[in-house]
Amino acid sequence: MLSIAAATTEDIPFIIRGIVASDTVPHGDGSTVYERVYGFTRAELEGFLEFALKANLPGNQLTLSEFVVLKEEGAPIGCCVGWIEGVTATPSGKAIAMLVSRFLGHRRVIDRTPQVRGLISCHPGRTAGALQLESFFVHPSARRQGHTYRLINHCLDNKSDGVGWSEIVLLSDNRPARKAYERAGFTLVPGINPNCADFQNYTGSDGFCRLRRSIPNHLSINQARTI
């Protein structure tokens, strides 16, 4: 039997696996954007993600209470995170920078200034007040069964909190993921042309794209969906 529920601390190891998988640079050596930008070792990254998830600062992509976990017979098989990007609260990018700084020490972050600047200048930004979705992960043994759509629909139904738009920011060269989101009704936001030369140089990735879809508020997404 399948169930989707808010994450708890016992889900942290699975969520860390999901974040690492979804943050991995496509067509690379298996390293993640976090590692390439901030200079984390893999062990440091896993320690950082546990630190950030347990800190549970509100409204960002590493907020444990914003994650949902899909389980089959009680065992986790998928996860994602969904949060409303801050209007008056701390923007998620700033929250992540503060978490990294607390974990690594600000001197080490400053030593990575060129890489962090490359990330900032390449990121397309997030719309304040929109539902942000990220870190989709389905265990390899459970793929091709529509679980990503289950996670998307669960978030649109349960986490939208009346907002009109949902967004997904992802690496633009992650084409399989982008196709899956487009099948779920997300479309590319045009006209965003960030400077990604430095980001490409440091990470090997083409950069980011931003997808979005409207969230009908007059009927449930489960009723409205066409996928």
Partner 1 sequence: MTPEQILDSLQPIFRRLFEQPNLQVTRDSSALNVLGWDSLMHITLIGEVEEQFNVRFGLGELEELTCVGDMVDLIARKPRS
Give how many residues touch partner 1 by CB under 8 A.
23
Q: Residue 38 class from Cβ within 10 Å (0-12 exposed, 13-18 middle, 19+ buried)?
A: buried
128 binds partner 1 (CB under 8 A): no
113 binds partner 1 (CB under 8 A): yes
String of b and e for 102-124 (b: at least 16 CB within 10 Å)?
Answer: ebbeeeebeebeebbebbbebbb
Among 7, 95, 131, 209, binds partner 1 (CB under 8 A): 95
Q: Which two tokens stand for residue 69?
A: 């976990």
41 binds partner 1 (CB under 8 A): no
In this structure, the dihedral spanned by the alpha carbons of residues 222, 225, 226 and 227, taken in order and rounded to 10 degrees, is -70
Among 41, 107, 190, 223, binds partner 1 (CB under 8 A): 107
Q: Which is nearer to partner 1, 94 or 179 (CB)?
A: 94
117 binds partner 1 (CB under 8 A): yes
Please report the DSSP string for 106-126 in residue order.
Answer: HHHHHHTHHHHHHHHHH----
55 binds partner 1 (CB under 8 A): yes
Which stretch, 16-24, 112-120, 205-213, 215-223, contacts partner 1 (CB under 8 A)? 112-120
The helix/strand count (H/E) of the chain reads as 10, 7
Q: Which residues bind partner 1 (CB under 8 A)?
A: 55, 57-58, 90-91, 93-102, 106-107, 109-110, 113, 116-117, 120
